[in-house]
């Protein structure tokens, strides 16, 4: 094989990759949808098969056993499968108690997102936070409105909510026939046909779909059909007409309606991912120069999982391939330390066939085992030129705690450990002159970050810590340093400095912040994006 063949191969492989994540609030149906996607891609033949019939919940979240049972390639960070002529990488966005900065960071490793909404609930807090990050990064979003088989809100109202709350223009591609709870199928707005869904036993297999002409649909369905067509027209005629460029520039979102648990609408979503969602593009390095896809291998680490068991200090670093071909066993350079890193142990994250198992292309996720030297944000590359991708972004924290060593004689270890954890992005570190250096404040997106931090301080730095939670829930960026005294004078508010130079103004809640703003209308408080910039 010549070098040109190799380059063509990489370009071809990159072009057929679709790497995406589902952004949703817990319980919207992410696990169910993941399973339904795998079902449609014929990765599994029956939903619920892995854990038996009792309770489909958590079936897919237990990805490892699905991998064993079905021979598909999954890491705890990504699920990979082939569909049509494409390779789909679905990256996991941990959502329940394990919601943390890692969840946000996953979005730096994807090329697009699927926003999954519960038809009865619409936009929920966690979805909004994740959407903020997508918007900030310009990630295009497809929307799937789920659970249409259950009573829920009106389709038009849900679409309005997208426009009004997050200024995202909905562009429906299907429209539900029958109100939520009496789902009969959808109008396919491509050609106006009625796609009728049939239930299968327990939603366990791919739901057959029947297409019917508009005339036949009107005769069969009657009023529900007419209303659906009228509603869809209302939206498409008022700026909601499908336009792929508006999806690409992330100003509008194609919308599908369905029911993941019954596999309704899932095939359409998969097809849309293939036909519309972007393939990997050359990633910009820290200086803004794009790294060509067919250049030498490069990747960046977006998640590091440390075994919580001190007896097994195993660590897996998950990296997204940005350019070139990854082959197991290759020795790569860590751009942060300039040290070589041998990739002998790679989790089986690649295709079903053995022949492709040791190779990964742009868009794929590799899981590097025993990677104790790797940190979130690190760049890996081989050959020349060297490359370094932008470092860790910081996100708007929501939980705060003062940290101090349980044993004061271990203050030195404490300082060392705390700096290390902050550098790795395990928690954010906040300080102020008022509090002094001895008791920094840990800030986190999810409370589990505190657990990881104290566990590591105790076991790696031999310094058990005491964490005292602070009662803050509203956080803003202080726009004018000279106003620091105003916030510090409040009874339940203060300003803390973050390593990136941001001054964070913290308040007990939104209400107390508004009270202070009323007294000091001159106060320059700026909302923090979910992603610090
Ligand atoms: P996750 O927390 O987002 O991963 O949500 P799950 O996939 O675990 O789903 C939460 C609950 O919603 C479970 O009881 C699912 O069976 C249920 N669910 C998911 N999709 C649908 C759907 O389309 N219709 C109905 N009725 N229930 C659903």
Q: Over the stretch 151-206, which tens digit does the pLDDT of each residue have? A: 999 999 999 999 999 999 999 999 999 888 888 899 999 999 999 877 766 555 66
For the CA of 96, the closest atom of ligand 1 is 2
Q: To test ligand 1's pocket by mutation, which of 23, 32, 95, 98 has the most ligand atoms within 8 angstroms of CB?
A: 32
Distance CA 529, CA 498 (A): 15
Residue 348 pLDDT class (50, 70, 90 cuts): very low
459 is in an annotated binding site: no
Q: What is the pLDDT of residue 4?
A: 59
φ and ψ at residue 6, rounded to 5 degrees: -60, -45
Q: How far is the CA of 144 from the centre of ligand 1 (A)?
A: 13
With a 6 Å cutoff on the Cβ, whether 57 touches ligand 1 is yes
Q: Does the structure show a pLDDT above 80 at 3?
A: no
Phi–psi pair at 324, nearest 5 degrees: 70, -170
Binned at pLDDT 50, 70 and 90, residue 126 comes out as very high
Residues 6+ apart with CB under 8 A from 230: none
Does 94 appear as a known binding residue? yes
Checking if the pLDDT of 432 tops 90, the result is yes
Average pLDDT over residues 506-510: 95
Answer with the residue of higher pLDDT: 134 or 351. Answer: 134
Give the model's confidence band at 427: pLDDT under 50 very low, under 70 low, under 90 confident, else very high. very high
**Residue 97 pLDDT exceeds 70:** yes
Q: What is the pLDDT of residue 66?
A: 44
Question: What confidence score (pLDDT) does residue 233 get?
Answer: 93
Residue identifier of the C-alpha nearest atom 9 of ligand 1? 29
94 lines ligand 1 (CB under 6 A): no
| Nearest protein CA to atom 17 of ligand 1, as residue | 29
Which residue's C-alpha comes closest to atom 2 of ligand 1?
27
Please check the confidence at residue 306 and state whether its pLDDT lies above 90.
no
Is 312 annotated as belonging to a binding site?
Answer: no
Q: Which residue has the higher pLDDT, 221 or 298?
A: 298
pLDDT at 528: 82
Residue with the nearest Cα to atom 10 of ligand 1?
Answer: 27
Q: In the chain, list all ranges with CATH 2.40.30.10.
A: 283-381
Return d(Cα 454, Cα 445) in angstroms, integer.
16
Q: Which atom of ligand 1 is nearest to the CA of 26?
A: 2
Q: Do the beta carbons of residue 252 and residue 168 sit within 8 Å?
A: yes
Task: Flag whether pLDDT at 446 surpasses 70.
Answer: yes
Top mutation candidate among 27, 124, 269 for ligand 1, by most atoms within 8 Å of CB: 27
Percent of the chain with pLDDT over 70: 86
Structure confidence by residue, pLDDT tens digits, 254-270: 999 999 988 889 999 99
pLDDT of res. 341: 86
Task: Give nearest CA residue, ligand 1 atom 24.
Answer: 147
Q: Residue 24: CB within 6 Å of ligand 1?
A: yes
Whether ipTM > 0.85 holds is yes
CATH 3.30.70.3280 fits 399-526, yes or no: yes
At residue 203, the pLDDT reads 56
96 is in an annotated binding site: yes
Highest mean pLDDT among 31-40, 72-81, 271-280: 271-280
Over residues 318-335, mean pLDDT: 92
Question: How far apart (Å, rounded) are the C-alpha atoms in residues 415 and 95?
Answer: 31
Indicate if ligand 1 lies below 6 Å from the C-beta of 31: yes
pLDDT at residue 183 in the model: 86
pLDDT at 353 over 60: no
Per-residue model confidence as pLDDT tens digits over 245-254:
999 999 999 9
* DSSP sequence for 465-522: EEEEE----EEEEES-GGGHHHHHHSTTEEEEEETTSPEEEEESSHHHHHHHHHH-TT
- What tens digit of pLDDT does each residue of 373-383 get? 888 999 999 99
Class of domain 17-74+110-275: alpha beta
Looking at residue 328, what is its pLDDT? 81
Q: List the residue whose alpha carbon is closest to atom 6 of ligand 1.
A: 29
pLDDT of residue 389: 96
* Predicted local confidence at residue 62, as pLDDT: 42
Lowest mean pLDDT segment, chosen from 81-95, 255-269, 341-355, 509-523: 341-355
**Residue position matching structure tokens 């943390």:** 100
Residue 46: predicted pLDDT? 47
Query: Does position 11 have pLDDT exceeding 70, yes or no?
Result: yes
d(CA 177, CA 190) in angstroms, rounded, equals: 15
* pLDDT score for 76: 61
Q: Give the tokens for residue 467.
A: 């964490």
Q: Residue 523 — left, alpha, or beta (φ > 0 → left; ψ -120 to 50 → alpha)?
A: beta
Enumerate the β-bridge partners of residue 318: 303, 367
Ligand 1 pocket residue status of 114, Cβ below 6 Å = no
| Pocket lining: 32 vs ligand 1, CB cutoff 6 Å | yes
Mean pLDDT value across residues 82-111: 90
Q: Tell me phi and psi for residue 437, to 5 degrees.
A: -75, -20
Query: Which of 74-78, 278-282, 301-305, 458-462 has the largest mean confidence?
Result: 278-282
Tokens standing for residue 413: 């270890």
Ligand 1 atom with the shortest distance to the CA of 58: 8
Positive or negative, the Cα torsion across 373, 374, 379, 381?
positive
Query: Is 180 a pocket residue for ligand 1 (Cβ < 6 Å)?
Result: no
Mutational pocket test of ligand 1: of 24, 29, 90, 259, the residue with most ligand atoms within 8 Å of the beta carbon:
29
φ, ψ (nearest 5 deg) of residue 16:
-95, 15
**Highest CATH level, class, for 283-381:** mainly beta
Q: Is the CB of 105 under 6 A from ligand 1?
A: no
* Tokens found for residue 101: 């900065």
> Does the pLDDT of residue 58 top 80, yes or no?
no
What distance in angstroms lies between residue 174's CA and the mean position of ligand 1's atoms?
Answer: 21
CB 149 less than 6 A from any atom of ligand 1: yes
Q: C-alpha dihedral over 43, 46, 47, 51, to 10 degrees?
A: -100
Rounded to the nearest 10 degrees, what angle do helices 448-460 and 411-424 cross at? 130
Q: Name the average pLDDT for the chain.
A: 86
Q: pLDDT tens digit string along 198-221?
A: 776 655 566 677 899 999 999 988
| Ligand 1 nearest-atom number relative to CA 28 | 3
Gap between the Cα atoms of 140 and 142, Å rounded:
7
Asked whether the predicted pLDDT for residue 312 surpasses 70, the reply is no
Mean pLDDT of 381-392: 92
Q: Where in the chain is the domain with CATH 3.40.50.300?
A: 17-74+110-275
133-155 pLDDT, tens per residue? 999 999 999 999 999 999 999 99
In angstroms, the CA 76 to CA 80 distance is 11
Q: 29 C-alpha vs ligand 1 centroid, how far in Å?
A: 4
CA 530 to chain centre: 12
């Amino acid at each position: 094989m010549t070098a040109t063949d190799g380059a063509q191969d990489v370009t071809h492989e990159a072009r057929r990759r679709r790497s995406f994540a589902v952004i949703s609030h817990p319980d919207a149906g992410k696990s169910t949808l993941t399973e339904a996607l795998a079902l449609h891609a014929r990765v599994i033949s029956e939903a619920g098969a892995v854990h038996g019939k009792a309770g489909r919940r958590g079936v897919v979240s237990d990805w490892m056993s699905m991998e064993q049972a079905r021979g598909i390639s999954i890491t705890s960070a990504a699920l990979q499968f082939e569909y049509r002529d494409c390779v789909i990488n679905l990256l996991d966005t941990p959502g329940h108690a394990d919601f943390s900065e890692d969840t946000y960071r996953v979005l730096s490793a994807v090329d697009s997102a699927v926003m999954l909404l519960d038809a009865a609930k619409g936009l929920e807090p966690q979805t909004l936070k994740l959407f903020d990050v997508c918007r900030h990064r310009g990630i295009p979003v497809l929307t799937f409105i789920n659970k249409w088989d259950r009573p829920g809100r009106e389709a038009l109202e849900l679409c309005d909510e997208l426009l009004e709350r997050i200024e995202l223009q909905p562009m429906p591609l299907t429209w539900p026939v029958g109100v939520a709870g009496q789902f009969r199928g959808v109008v396919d707005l491509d050609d106006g046909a009625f796609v009728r869904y049939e239930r299968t036993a327990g939603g366990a297999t791919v739901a057959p779909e029947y297409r019917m002409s508009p005339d036949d649909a009107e005769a069969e369905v009657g009023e529900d059909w007419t209303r659906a067509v009228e509603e869809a027209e209302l939206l498409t005629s008022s700026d909601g007409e499908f336009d792929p460029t508006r999806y690409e520039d992330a100003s509008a979102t194609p919308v599908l309606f369905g029911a993941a648990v019954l596999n309704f609408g899932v095939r359409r979503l998969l097809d849309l991912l293939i036909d519309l969602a972007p393939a990997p593009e050359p990633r910009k390095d820290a200086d803004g120069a794009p790294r060509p896809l067919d250049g030498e291998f490069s990747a960046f680490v977006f998640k590091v999982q440390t075994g919580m068991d001190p007896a097994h200090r195993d660590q897996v670093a998950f990296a997204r391939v940005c350019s070139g071909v990854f082959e197991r066993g290759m020795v790569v350079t860590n751009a942060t330390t300039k040290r070589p890193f041998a990739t002998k142990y790679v989790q089986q994250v690649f295709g079903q066939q053995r022949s492709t198992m040791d190779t990964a292309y742009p868009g794929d996720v590799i899981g590097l085992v025993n990677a104790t030297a790797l940190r979130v944000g690190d760049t890996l590359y081989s050959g020349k030129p060297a490359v370094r991708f932008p470092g860790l972004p910081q996100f708007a924290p929501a939980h705060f705690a003062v940290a101090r060593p349980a044993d004061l004689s271990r203050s030195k270890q404490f300082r060392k450990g705390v700096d290390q954890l902050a550098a790795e992005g395990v928690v954010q570190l906040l300080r102020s002159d008022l509090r002094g250096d001895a008791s920094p404040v840990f800030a986190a997106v999810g409370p589990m970050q505190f657990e990881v931090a104290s566990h590591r301080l105790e076991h790696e730095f031999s310094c058990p810590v005491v964490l005292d939670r602070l009662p803050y829930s509203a956080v803003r960026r202080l726009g004018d340093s000279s106003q620091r005294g105003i916030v510090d004078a409040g009874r339940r508010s203060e300003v803390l400095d973050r390593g990136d130079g941001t001054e964070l103004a913290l308040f007990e809640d939104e209400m107390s912040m508004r009270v202070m703003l009323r007294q000091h209308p001159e106060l320059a408080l700026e909302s923090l994006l979910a992603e610090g910039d």
